[in-house]
């Protein structure tokens, strides 16, 4: 090897390291920016609160989230007995690598966003039933319609046109 090549190699390595360091600094700055969060509403009416029904509903919801491209890593709920005291639900979460967390049982305002969503859906469902002249027994189908309509508007707001 001649002397020029021996001397050029260390300089090139230093330049590469400085460029990589600069790129890393830029990536770190990007990571400091706050993440935007958006909520999407999914509903699965259940005929009862039995564990088997809850597991079926959870499977359906997680599958729907996957279809939408949303990664699920946690099941967060209130202290509903069918979710918190169920060994089957705990096994279901463990098998999928989901962390199970709950809100405080004595503080309904600890999950205000969800409570607000539930109220919005109930109001919309009652309105739909009244407008269609349907009996209260049609509540599950009206709720599904209200939730799907809300989901479509939420996804449009996010720029998605991939409707489930």
Which residue matches tokens 């009996």?
A: 135
Sequence-distant (6+) residues with CB within 8 A of 152 are 163
> pLDDT for 76-104, tens place per residue?
888 888 888 889 999 999 999 999 998 87
Query: Residue 157: which residues within 8 A CB-CB, separation 6 or more?
Result: 38
Report d(CA 23, CA 48) in Å as an integer: 54
d(CA 138, CA 130): 11
Q: Which fold has domain 51-157?
A: Nucleotidyltransferase; domain 5 (3.30.420)
Predicted confidence at residue 14, as pLDDT, reads 63
Q: Which residue has the tokens 């958006």?
A: 38
The more confidently predicted of residues 8 and 72 is 72
* Domain parsing of the chain, residue ranges: 51-157
Rg (CA), the chain: 25
Give the model's pLDDT for residue 27. 81
**What pLDDT score was predicted for residue 127?**
97
pLDDT, tens digit, 9 for 90 and up, residues 107-156: 767 778 888 899 999 999 999 999 999 999 999 999 999 999 999 988 88
> What pLDDT does 162 receive?
61
pLDDT at 6: 47
Reported as a single tens digit per residue, the pLDDT across 9-68 is 455 566 666 677 777 788 888 888 886 777 788 999 898 989 899 999 999 999 998 888
Question: How far lies 65's CA from each of 9, 34, 119, 133, 151, in Å?
Answer: 50, 23, 22, 33, 12
Do residues 155 and 148 touch, judged by C-beta distance below 8 A? Answer: no
């Amino acid at each position: 090897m001649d002397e020029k090549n021996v001397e050029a190699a260390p300089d090139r390595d230093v330049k590469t390291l400085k460029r990589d360091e600069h790129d890393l600094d830029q990536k770190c700055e990007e990571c400091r920016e706050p993440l935007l969060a958006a909520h999407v509403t999914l509903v699965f009416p259940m005929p009862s609160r039995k564990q088997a029904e809850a597991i079926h509903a959870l499977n359906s919801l997680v599958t729907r989230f996957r279809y939408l491209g949303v990664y699920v890593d946690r099941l967060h709920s209130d202290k509903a007995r069918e979710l918190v005291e169920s060994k089957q639900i705990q096994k279901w979460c463990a098998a999928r690598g989901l962390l199970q967390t709950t809100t405080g049982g004595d503080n309904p305002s600890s999950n205000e966003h969800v409570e607000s969503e539930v109220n919005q859906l109930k109001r919309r469902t009652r309105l739909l039933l009244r407008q269609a002249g349907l009996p209260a027994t049609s509540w599950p189908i009206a709720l599904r319609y209200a939730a799907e309509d809300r989901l479509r508007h939420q996804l449009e707001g996010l720029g998605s046109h991939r409707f489930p």
